């Protein structure tokens, strides 16, 4: 049984329709190149990464977005417990508030990565399997909504709309927040706002909890191997964290949940460190990168300051 027939059976869709859609998808060599790690990776540089997102135009666009959609953001915060500033920042980092949502046909991107994922990638088998699942979800979504699979555009990896949801995230977490009877993450900021908030709630966002705390490390007195071993997963109690030589102060000492030591490299300069909470980890469920999470947090804070100043 070929993939299209098996997928149609799993999805309970017309096999001829599925075969036709997949048959029309074009292989995109540019997408195959884009998913490969760079041959000579540049040294990670938090300051350079941050500067791409925490800059005046994006901050002002975030302010306008928040002012325009204030009621939806407040409603999402009440309903899902996720800070409005974080929702605003996610949409700002992902698509500059809808200015850059991607120009690849989603079916081409997903089919390319499902059937032609580069074998040289270190996780090729797992990624290929993931994209086959995403292609199935995309076909199911378009079949249910009546949208033309050939007309939908997104990122080179198949992410869509203002919040850049993958098809599986759309299926699981997207909500009709404007109440018009359909979910539209491309043209309804309300649906995008509600869906991002719902996504974070699903990944255990804790209302009111800080995302991180300052931390001081003393060279030679800090058990870096133990602290770095769990990576970004919050693992250590405050007492355990401090006992390993990571100094905390103020509100951080009253924190009741687990912490992780987050390292942000600065090229040839010394790395920056923070103590990440479960809410920091929740942001990395959107994009598995501590640099991404910190950029979202810093953009959220910058736009929040502008909101305070504009009142």
68 within some domain:
no
pLDDT tens per residue, range 177-227: 999 999 999 999 999 999 999 999 999 999 999 999 999 998 889 999 999
180 within some domain:
yes
73 within some domain:
no
Q: Are residues 29 and 174 in the same domain?
A: yes
How far apart (Å, rounded) are the C-alpha atoms in residues 200 and 126? 24
Residue-number span of the structural domain to which 112 is assigned: 3-40+100-202
- How high is the pLDDT of residue 219? 86
Give me the percent of the chain exceeding a pLDDT of 90: 92
Q: Are residues 21 and 129 in the same domain?
A: yes
Cα maximum dimension of the chain = 66
Q: Are residues 252 and 105 in the same domain?
A: no
CATH assignment of the domain containing 17: 1.10.8.350
- Total domain count for the chain? 2
Q: Are residues 24 and 140 in the same domain?
A: yes
- How high is the pLDDT of residue 160? 98
pLDDT tens per residue, range 93-104: 999 999 999 999
Q: Are residues 164 and 249 in the same domain?
A: no
Residues recognised as catalytic: 94
Q: Are residues 228 and 194 in the same domain?
A: no
11 within some domain:
yes
The pLDDT of residue 125 is above 90: yes
- How high is the pLDDT of residue 273? 96
How far apart (Å, rounded) are the C-alpha atoms in residues 295 and 303? 12
What DSSP state is assigned to residue 148?
-
Contacts of 30 by beta carbon, 8 Å cutoff, 6+ apart: 156
The pLDDT of residue 80 is above 90: yes
Q: Are residues 150 and 231 in the same domain?
A: no
Average the pLDDT over 80-90 and give the result.
98
């Amino acid at each position: 049984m070929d993939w299209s027939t098996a997928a149609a059976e799993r999805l309970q869709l017309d096999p001829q329709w599925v075969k036709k859609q997949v048959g029309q998808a074009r292989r995109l060599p540019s997408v195959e190149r884009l998913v490969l790690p760079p041959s000579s990776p540049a040294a990670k540089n938090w300051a350079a990464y941050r500067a791409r997102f925490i800059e005046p135009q994006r901050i002002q666009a975030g302010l306008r977005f928040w002012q325009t959609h204030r009621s939806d953001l407040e409603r999402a915060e009440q309903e899902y417990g996720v800070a409005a500033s974080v929702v605003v920042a996610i949409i700002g980092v992902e698509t500059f508030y809808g200015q850059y949502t991607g120009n690849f046909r989603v079916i081409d991107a997903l089919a390319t990565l499902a059937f032609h994922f580069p074998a040289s990638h270190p996780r090729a088998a797992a990624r290929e399997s993931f994209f086959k699942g995403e292609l199935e979800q995309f076909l199911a979504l378009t079949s249910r909504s009546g949208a033309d699979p050939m007309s939908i555009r997104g990122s080179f990896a198949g992410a869509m709309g203002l919040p850049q949801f993958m098809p599986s995230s759309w299926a699981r977490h997207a909500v009709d927040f404007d109440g018009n009877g359909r979910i539209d993450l491309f043209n309804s900021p309300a649906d995008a706002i509600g869906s991002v908030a719902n996504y974070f709630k699903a990944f255990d966002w804790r209302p009111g909890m800080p995302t991180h705390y300052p931390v001081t490390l003393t060279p030679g007195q800090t058990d870096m191997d133990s602290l770095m071993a769990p990576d970004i997963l919050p693992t250590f109690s405050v007492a355990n964290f401090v006992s390993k030589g990571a100094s905390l102060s103020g509100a951080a000492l009253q924190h009741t949940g687990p912490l992780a030591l987050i390292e942000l490299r600065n090229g040839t300069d010394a790395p920056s460190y923070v103590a990440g909470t479960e809410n920091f980890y929740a942001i990395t469920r959107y994009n598995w990168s501590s640099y991404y999470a910190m950029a979202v947090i810093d953009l959220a804070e910058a736009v929040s300051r502008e909101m305070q100043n504009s009142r």
